[in-house]
Amino acid sequence: MDYLIPEEFSQFAELTRQFVRQELWPHEEEVERADCVAPSLAARLRAKAVELGLFGFNMPEEAGGPGLPYLAQVLIREQLGQASVALADMVGRPPKALLVCQGEQRQRLLQPAVRGEKIWAFALTEPGAGSDAAAIRTRATREQGGWRLNGTKHFISHGNHADYVIVIAKASQADGDVPAAFVVERGAAGFSVGRIHRKMGWRGYPICELVFDGVFVGDDNVLGAIGDGLRLGLANILESRIGVAAHCVGMAQRAYDYAVEHLRVRRQFGRQLGSFQGLQWMVADMAVEIEQSRALLYAAAREMDRGGDARAAVSMAKLSATEMAGRVADRALQLLGGAGYMAESPIEMIYRDARAFRIGEGTSEIQKNQIARACLGREMFA
């Protein structure tokens, strides 16, 4: 289908496509087996992504990024979605919260993240505060020259090997608690990694619990103003959601391509599998669903680029693509039969990996809430 994509954006997509096939796919099996991207491999892949100008592709020019419109960004992310989650993540996308860095924070925190030299984690979710992010209980109390942090975060991506963690906590003020963003560096006294969560998929992509037991954070490690925490926490949210949608379109396309090739090659009852009408119709359903999600994705990216209120469009794209990826992965697995269940094809990995995208960056139900607000008017939800 022709989505009237400008030629220069298609070139970024092609560059990423080649990077995925040449640099990431060869390592997929070892990462899946070891459930880890070896540090030396991670460093090599990040350096390559930096060299190609892909690392930090979401960053504006003033932060050292390429300043790409969202439409170009989703094309890149769609291609990255064709690799395993852990390997796709080697092309880092620093959080937008870092754009509020001031003075020396820019050299110490922002620029090394954009250059792929420092790994960050972003810690908002807590055992008692998931979809309801405003319910966080991690607390920061004022001290001479900074803040003292106490609390526990969980489900934090890369928390165990991040150079620093952006922690959203409630800062105690005379007139009540307000959310704020604090940077906790690895090795800070009182900061420790709790459980590394065992999980269903996303092998090689660690997710963990982080404990802050009286961690001192100097004023130079506060991001933005006290009170800005949730705004900074959610600064990224549209970009993260549309990124997830793009990733899911990419992973579904890979599952589809793999299944279609299988139907051409595999023969049963003396015929190609692809000649059975029941299977042909499954392929048709997959193709339609992928294209529907892709159309919503590009429309939402264009809405973001226009600068309008894109919240509902992005939620529609995320909801559609994440749910679709699960259905497409399931059909692809069925089309492959036993071979789809075995870890020798990428379908088994895609089937597992797709599931998490319906939860992270706002669950499917939270996306529906957002869409319903746009449909019914926000006053209905006061």
- The residues binding ligand FAD (CB under 6 A) are 122-125, 130-131, 155-157, 202, 207, 356, 359-360, 363, 365-366, 369
Closest to 168 measured CA to CA, from 231, 108, 99: 231
**In the complex, minimum distance from the CB of residue 17 to ligand FAD, in angstroms, rounded to a whole number:** 25
Helix (H) or strand (E) holding 193: strand 191-196
CA-CA distance, 205 to 31, in Å (whole number)?
9
Backbone φ/ψ region at 103: left (φ over 0), alpha (ψ -120 to 50), beta: left
Burial class of residue 281, CB neighbours in 10 A (0-12, 13-18, 19+): exposed
DSSP-based three-state secondary structure for 126: strand
In angstroms, rounded to a whole number, what is the distance separating the alpha carbons of residues 55 and 296? 25
Measured from the CB atom, is 55 or 122 closer to ligand FAD?
Answer: 122
The nearer residue to ligand FAD, 153 or 331, going by C-beta atoms, is 153
Q: Residues with catalytic annotation?
A: 361
Which residues are within 8 A (CB) of 346 and not within 5 positions of it... i.e. 6 or more apart?
28, 254, 255, 258
Task: State which residue, 163 or 291, has the beta carbon closest to ligand FAD.
Answer: 163
Nearest residue relative to ligand FAD (C-beta):
130
Helix (H), strand (E) at residue 212: strand 207-218
Supply the minimum distance, in Å, between the C-beta of residue 239 and ligand FAD: 14
Least gap, CB of 113 to ligand FAD (angstroms): 15
Minimum CB separation of residue 53 from ligand FAD in Å reads 25
